[in-house]
Amino acid sequence: MGNGIRMSRQTVAVLVSLLAEPTSWRYGYDLSRETGLKSGTLYPILIRLTADSWLKTRWEEAEPGRPPRHMYRLTTNGLHQARQFVAEAKARGFVPQLAPEGSRA
């Protein structure tokens, strides 16, 4: 487990959401909708996960008239760590509650 990742419901929720589609690149806003986390909570978690190399990031190709969006995906190491982290979290009772379909951040 990375030293910089603190176990919290919010972190577990983000990881569960990322683990749901580990090979896809995800947008911040989509993660926010899925987890029900506000941007002020979500982004610090993404920053920490990136700093600990659990996540890799990239900018999408820009479309005309719209700025490029930032995307996130678990690294190979991050995938392994995240699974272990979530399993441990569940064992400790950190059950993530993802936002219901259609809810807003």
Partner 1 sequence: MSSHIICRASRRVLSWVLHFAPARSRDWGVAMLAELDVIDHPVESLNWSLGCLAIILREAVVNACLGVCRDAGFWIMAKEEGSGIRSLRIAAVVMLLATLGFFIAPSFRQAMSIAADTLDGAPWARSGSGEKSLDQARINAERQRDAKMLAYVAVHEERIELAQESADHAVAIDPQWTWIYYVLAYRDMAGDPRRAPAPQFARWIENLHRWDPQNAVTYFLEAERLVHAMHLDRNAKQKVLENKAWMEIMARGFDAPKYNSYFQQGFNLDRDIARQRGSTNPLRFTVGVVAHPLPPNLIWAVQYERFVLSSTKNPSDLMQQAQLVAAFGERMMAADTDFEQIIGHKIALDGYKKLQQVAAPADQALITARVTQLESMRVEQMQAYRIATGITNAFITNAVIVQVCFILIVIAAVTVAVSAGFSVFRNAKGSRKINLIFYGAVGIMLVACIVAFVAYLPYSDLVTQAMDPQTPVKVGGPLLLNFLSFTVAPRLLLFGAPARVYVWPYLWIVVLTALSLLALWLVLRQFRRPGPQPHLR
Chain residues that interact with partner 1, rule: CB under 8 A:
3-4, 6, 27-29, 32, 38-44, 47-48, 50-51, 56-59, 65-70, 104-105
CB of 95 to partner 1, least distance (A): 23
C-alpha 52, offset from chain centre: 13
Amino acid at 29: Y
Residue 16 CA to residue 85 CA, distance in Å, equals 10
Q: How many whole angstroms separate alpha carbon 77 and alpha carbon 71?
A: 18
Q: Which residue has the tokens 């700093």?
A: 51
Least Cβ distance, residue 26 to partner 1 (angstroms): 11
Q: Least distance in Å: CB of 78 to partner 1?
A: 14
Question: Which is closer to partner 1, CB of 65 or CB of 93?
Answer: 65
Between 57 and 97, name the residue whose CB sits nearer to partner 1: 57
Give the nearest distance from C-beta 69 to partner 1 in angstroms: 5
Task: Give the H or E element holding residue 73.
Answer: strand 70-74
